[in-house]
Amino acid sequence: MTSRFTNWRKSRYSEPNGTCVEVAPSSIGTVGIRDSKAHSAGPILELTRHEWTNLLQTIRSVQAR
């Protein structure tokens, strides 16, 4: 599953101690999310572009409160 995800990048809100999530696009247009502490061996949450957009909007609306 992970082979189709490329260009993993850490969240800009990552903690200095390495506690963070990484995201990457896939070759089929989905977005993968993983825990960077798992060193590529952990599970990947795969979202459609629509789901990814909704997740970001929800996070931003909660942060704005």
- pLDDT tier at 13, thresholds 50, 70, 90: confident
- pLDDT tier at 30, thresholds 50, 70, 90: very high
Summarize pLDDT for 43-63 with one digit per residue, the tens.
Answer: 999 999 999 999 999 988 987
Q: Which long-range contacts (CB under 8 A, 24 or more apart) does 46-52 make?
A: 46/1
What global pTM score does this model have? 0.78
Q: Which of 55, 56, 8 is nearest to 32 (CA)?
A: 8
Q: Which of 6, 8, 1, 60 is nearest to 35 (CA)?
A: 8
- Residue 1, pLDDT above cutoff 50: no
Domain ranges of the chain: 2-63
